[in-house]
Chains A and B, each alone.
Chain A
Amino acid sequence: MLRYLICLSALLAVSACTTAKPDYCAVNLRDNLSAAMNTVETKLAGGCEYSFNSYFNSLLTIAEANPSKDNKMLFSDHLMRVNDMGVISRRQAEGLYNRYFNVKFVSLQGDYNTCSQTCPVRAQVLSDMQAELHDKELGLMRASADSASFYRADTLLKETDLVLEATCRACAAGSAQ
């Protein structure tokens, strides 16, 4: 009986040791954004590429808690370093930076003419732009304390809505003729 008890406690001890082993990619990021970015980059270089999205969201949360005009630049530099490391592509870096920290909308892009590319999916484009505006609110207004740029993006969305409504109506009238 005693032997069973000893074996059981030994097994429990072994299993406790295995569950207590820390996950290398899990990280508790602190309030200093630059230091947090350094930590993230170290982790990414150490094989935690798949955690990039959750790291990025954590960095945004830290920036939101410590709003500063410099945050925009810190994120730009961070994304470029992550791109240099090969974790994300240049296109992904640009997409993320512009989605959160630029007045321009990633959702309104294209190399074909507006009649053929945007008008058939106008409602979807505007819906995507609306969602992107929420991200700009986080990146520009709450994280970078740049409310003027956020309001400019808001105006751009409204003007785009108006201009696309008119342009797409004109395109439709032309194709109906």
Chain B
Amino acid sequence: MPSAINNSTRRHEYAFGIILLALVILGSAPASAGVSGPVVRLFPTTVLEDIRETGQVAEEMENNLQEVINRMDMQQQLFEESLCQGADGDQGCDRIGKQLGATYLEMLDIMSERLPEMERAVNNTRSSLEKRLRQELGQRTTPTSLQNALLGETTSSAQADRPALRGRSGVRLSDRFKQYYNLVSTNREGASKSLAVVASDIYLDMDEASHLIAATQEEIGRAALMEQLNQSFGMITPEMAAVVGGVKEILFGESMGEAAIAAPPYAIGEADFVSPLAM
């Protein structure tokens, strides 16, 4: 009987030991993962798909607006070259003004038709990136590891492949999305440090674009009404010029040219001194 009790106790001790060992192994797994730092996954397939779709919607909108905007540019040029500004009562100028106004209304129509889809695509990209940024960089990263991740990017190729930052590239919106998509789809398993900058860049662009789209949608109804009234007078208003300028800026990247944020790349040489005091 005592030996049966002993055997039972041993079995319990043995089972307890195995459970303890399993717990130690399981417990040590995240710790050992933590040594090399958390893996930052900013561009899962869902985010990539959102970016690709936003690029497609932007391209469709550009294609629809390109011809109308070109026509408006020519009419505007004709209006200016004919010295029509302030030439009230001139029949030729009135005609050019009305044509310009009609083209402007056409542009507003296309925009009001296309903007809801654009808004949906932009908001989807913004929301999915917002969630990833909050989880991966906001909650799973410390300031120290964030700095390490950003500094890890030292290869010249990573910088060379990167599109110019914060919408200052002077390229079409759809091309910028193609650049973003290509960059993140080819590098999403590696070079997570450069992707932190790209993800932040796209997110801030999308946030800005989302507000602009909402403001533009609010303005379109008012602008269309104003222009319908102006059609009877054939005037070109500063608001018209501003709206057209804004659309060209967002879609085609015109009238930009500020310097990009990133500086030339730097590769740390092998012979660099590394202090034992260094972080």
Q: Is B275 an interface residue (CB 8 A)?
A: yes
Alpha-carbon separation in the docked complex, A174 to B278 (Å):
35
Partner of B261 from the list A159, A168, A173 (CB cut-off 8 Å) is A159
* Cβ-defined contact, B273 with A163, below 8 A: no
Contact code string B203-221 (vs A, CB < 8 Å = 1, else 0) = 1100100000000000000
Interchain Cβ contacts under 8 Å between A and B, 22 examples: A76-B273, A94-B277, A98-B278, A102-B279, A104-B151, A108-B144, A111-B144, A113-B140, A114-B141, A154-B263, A159-B150, A162-B197, A163-B146, A163-B196, A165-B204, A166-B133, A166-B137, A166-B204, A169-B130, A170-B130, A170-B131, A170-B138
Say whether A104 contacts B143, CB under 8 Å: no
- By beta carbon, the residue of chain A nearest B159 is A155
- Interface residue from B129, B137, B143, B166 paired with A117 (Cβ < 8 Å): B143
Q: Is A9 an interface residue (CB 8 A)?
A: no
Residues of A in contact, count (CB < 8 Å): 49
Q: Contact check: which of A103, A115, A162 meets B139 at CB < 8 Å?
A: A115
CA distance A75 to B190 in the complex (A): 36
Distance in angstroms between the alpha carbons of A111 and B147 in the assembled complex: 12
Give the CA-CA distance A168 to B133 in the complex, in Å.
9
Of the candidates A94, A111, A163, which one forms a contact with B279 in the assembled complex, judged by CB atoms under 8 Å apart? A94
How many Å lie between the Cα of A108 and that of B261 in the bound state?
19
* A170/B140 contact (C-beta < 8 A), A69-B273, A97-B275, A97-B278 known: no
Total number of A-B contacts with CB less than 8 angstroms? 142
A136 in the interface, Cβ–Cβ < 8 Å?
no
Task: Select one of B144, B154, B263 contacting A109, CB under 8 A.
Answer: B144
Among B147, B199, B268, the most chain A Cβ lie within 10 Å of the Cβ of B147
Contacts of A119 in B (CB 8 A): 138
Residues of chain A at the chain B interface (Cβ within 8 Å): 69, 72-73, 76, 79-80, 93-94, 97-98, 101-106, 108-115, 117-119, 125, 148-149, 151-152, 154-156, 158-160, 162-163, 165-171, 173-174
B143 touches A110 (CB 8 A): yes
* Interchain CA distance A93-B278 in the complex, whole Å: 10
- Interface size for chain B: under 10, 10 to 19, 20 to 34, or 35 or more residues? 35 or more
Report the Cα distance A168→B142, complex, angstroms: 13
- Tell whether, in the assembled complex, residue B143 and residue A163 are in contact, meaning their CB atoms are under 8 Å apart: no
- Select B203's contact among A105, A108, A118, A170, beta carbons within 8 Å: A170
Bits for B125-161, please: 1 = Cβ < 8 Å to A, else 0: 0000111011001111111101110110010000000
Q: Which residues of B contact A104 (CB under 8 A)?
A: 147-148, 151, 278-279
Judged by DSSP, the binding face of A is helix
Q: In the complex, are the beta carbons of B275 and A167 less than 8 A apart?
A: no
Q: B194 to chain A: closest CB distance in Å?
A: 9
The closest CB in chain B to the CB of A118 belongs to B143
Interface residues of B in 162-216 (CB under 8 A from A): 165-166, 196-197, 199-201, 203-204, 207
Complex Cα–Cα for A63 and B146 (A): 32
